[in-house]
Amino acid sequence: MTTALLTHADCLMHVTPDGHPEQVARLEHVLHALEGMDLKRVTAPLAAEDDILRVHPASYLADLRRNLPADGLHTIDADTYLSPGSLHAAFRAAGASVRAVDMVLSGEVQNAFCAIRPPGHHAETDTAMGFCLFGNAALAAKHALDHHGLKRVAVVDFDVHHGNGTQDLLWDEARALVITSQQMPLWPGTGRADETGAHDTILNLPLPPGSGGAEMRRVYQQDAFPRLRAFKPDLIVISAGFDAHASDPLAQLYWKTEDFAWITAQICAIAAEICGGRVVSVLEGGYDLAALAASARAHVDELMKAPS
Ligand SMILES: [Zn+2]
């Protein structure tokens, strides 16, 4: 069995202001780190509009299109921008996520990593925020449920920031378990343990600033993994953010590269137990370029070694 790598050069055409942490160089560093690995390399398609509309209303898509600048930048908020290439990039990012689900569910590959930007887990139903335009992980989960007819899908989000967008998009979805760990307090401020969704299918795991890999492992082993096993998803989607790394400039957790390898291996082992090893991982944050590259490589290396 193989691991797919889905990406597209269009994801480099989403440009942010000078000095912005969510920069083109992030994806260049990730792709460079994955060079030479024995991956099935796939050119990401553009998402179909229906893929986007599973989680965002048509009015939201129309707003993004109307605000797309012909040149320069359009400011959505203090963090989030549109450049002329942003929507193409976002449609490729969403398209990669959907195609990865198709490939994993068809058995063409065992698992897949989507090296994409803009990231997605902060995008709410009709609000772009936190560098994110479309909820890639949520729309991948919805595609698996509604298009492929899976009974249950889980999303595991280990980005250092709360996956408020994924939580919002899947709040009412009883067929999706969302497990999200985040530093708290930290932007965007949500992600308390008492935010559990309309059907008690959201598990928030706040982590204190200054904590490291040991605390993360304890919380995942005690709370996240038993919940994941009990839910018995047919597919696991990972929101793979690497900004909990000790070197990351945007947060104060102290995970090391091997912690990202550990959590990936654990999720893959559970996937092998309960859903034939079917995992789709989508890139979220990670803003120290060297730490991002090393952590993404360690993550993909574990996907490649995963049991089926
Ligand atoms: Zn983040």
The tens digit of pLDDT for each residue in 151-172 reads 999 999 999 999 999 999 999 9
Ligand 1 centroid, distance to 204 Cα (angstroms): 15
**Separation of alpha carbons 171 and 150, rounded Å:** 18
Cα 92 to middle of ligand 1, angstroms: 20
What per-residue confidence (pLDDT) applies to 1? 67
The question of whether 122 is a catalytic residue gets the answer yes
Encode pLDDT of 29-64 as tens digits: 999 999 999 999 999 999 999 999 999 999 999 999
Selection from 57, 45, 53, 37 nearest residue 8 by Cα: 45
Torsions phi, psi for 239 (to 5 deg):
-90, 100
Residue 268 pLDDT: 98
| Helix-then-strand count for the chain, H and E | 10, 10
Q: What is the pLDDT of residue 290?
A: 98
CA 113 to mean position of chain CA atoms: 10
Q: 121, 122, 161, 245: which one is catalytic?
A: 122
Compute how many other C-beta atoms are within 10 angstroms of the C-beta atom of residue 65: 10
- For the cut 80, the answer to whether the pLDDT of residue 18 exceeds it is yes
55: which DSSP letter?
T
From start to end of 106-149, where are the E strands?
111-114
